[in-house]
Amino acid sequence: MFTAAEVGAANRQAAGRGAPGRGAAEELQLCLSVISRMGGAVSAGEDNDELIDNLKEAQYIRSELVEQAFRAIDRADYYLEEFKENAYKDLAWKHGNIHLSAPCIYSEVMEALDLQPGLSFLNLGSGTGYLSSMVGLILGPFGVNHGVELHSDVTEYAKQKLDFFIRTSDSFDKFDFCEPSFVTGNCLEISPDCSQYDRVYCGAGVQKEHEEYMKSLLKVGGILVMPLEEKLTKITRTGPSAWETKKILAVSFAPLIQPCQSESGKSRLVQLPPLAVRSLQDLARIAIRGTIKKVIHQEAVNKNGNGLKNTPRFKRRRVRRRRLETIVFLDKEVFASRISNPSDDNSSGDLEEERREEEATTPPDSKPEPPVNFLREKVLSLPLPDPLKYYLLYYREK
């Protein structure tokens, strides 16, 4: 009945950007009141790239930096093996204490944070580390990337996923990465002498009485994004006591868990990671890798005149008309909804035409070419001792 772009636009209207008209828009708004709050605003993808394509089409992803970060980290890598078949659906996922928000929510959060290299970022309720890792790709090596997670088992899970990403993903070599640091504790008990941050995100519902506490974590000029009174809210600190507030999206998050006092009756203050200064050895590694990347780029420019291009994704048939199917699990309750496109039944002719066009332009035996890690190849070819080569590669696996 509605395209992905219409869903995305109406969803943002619901948060205060404008009131939709009557009739079909009211029907859409009724569906969105449940669907968009938990995800399901865009169609499922066959893989991570197709999920990102759908988020772009629905205008949840609107900037190139955010798109690159989403494509660089496969959402399925943060799922338990037995649940990976659901990784590319626009739905939240929860198993025990492990939780991932819906992709459309993360997209809006990343866009609202307006991330830039070198900024400091604090993730309250950092969970699996999926969002923190994407943020780290944008912050670069001179940013600060901290996360606070309530559950110790989730903190350990996030550290394992981060280690897997650093060791195995080619995206680590394509970006200058700001590695996240995670600590365990209640984010409402952060030590009052902690540093303030340029960007703060809270992944749990914030009660009104905690709004000022959240604002106190922010530097002047900084941005705070959090679910406040069932609206994803962006707050910009424009002065020591001046703020601008913007409602982004209607959402439904579990509320923050209130702190529990220890046996002594005192709260357990959370100590955030120190703002460590990089060693000269580490700075040299960053500089050498950066220089090698520039050499690789210049060689590509000299070779073909337009520099390195992203490895093209394998061409798939584009399905413009999708049926939106949503299943939302809320503990033991299940909400199921289907919004079907009336054109689905008569779109077979269009799809057949697209298939013929693809067959005419695609070689019969075409297969996606494996990506080439140019940085790794260049480092391994250098006349250096092997230990130094592997140090420059962060001791990563091939």
Residue 166 pLDDT:
93
Phi, psi torsion values for 171, nearest 5 degrees? -60, -25
Whose tokens are 């689905």? That residue is: 344
Collect the ranges in the chain with pLDDT lower than 50: 1-3, 6-7, 14, 17-22, 27-38, 311-312, 314-347
Residue 34 pLDDT:
43
Dmax over CA atoms of the chain, in Å, equals 75
Question: Could you write out the DSSP letters of every residue in 261-287?
Answer: --TTS---PBPPPP-PPPPHHHHHHHH
Contact criterion met (CB below 8 Å) for 375 and 173: yes
Contact residues for 348 (Cβ-Cβ < 8 A; gap 6+): none
Residue 260 pLDDT:
81
Contact criterion met (CB below 8 Å) for 246 and 233: yes
Q: Which residue type is seen at 186?
A: N
The SS3 assignment for 324 reads strand
Residue 30 pLDDT:
43
Residue 39 pLDDT:
54
pLDDT tens for residues 54-77?
999 999 999 999 999 999 999 999
How far apart are the C-alpha atoms of 237 and 114, rounded to whole Å? 13
Strands in 50-141 per DSSP E: 93-95, 98-100, 120-124
Catalytic residue among 36, 101, 107, 132: 101
Catalytic residue status for 133: no
Residue 189 pLDDT:
95
- The DSSP H or E segment spanning 58 is none
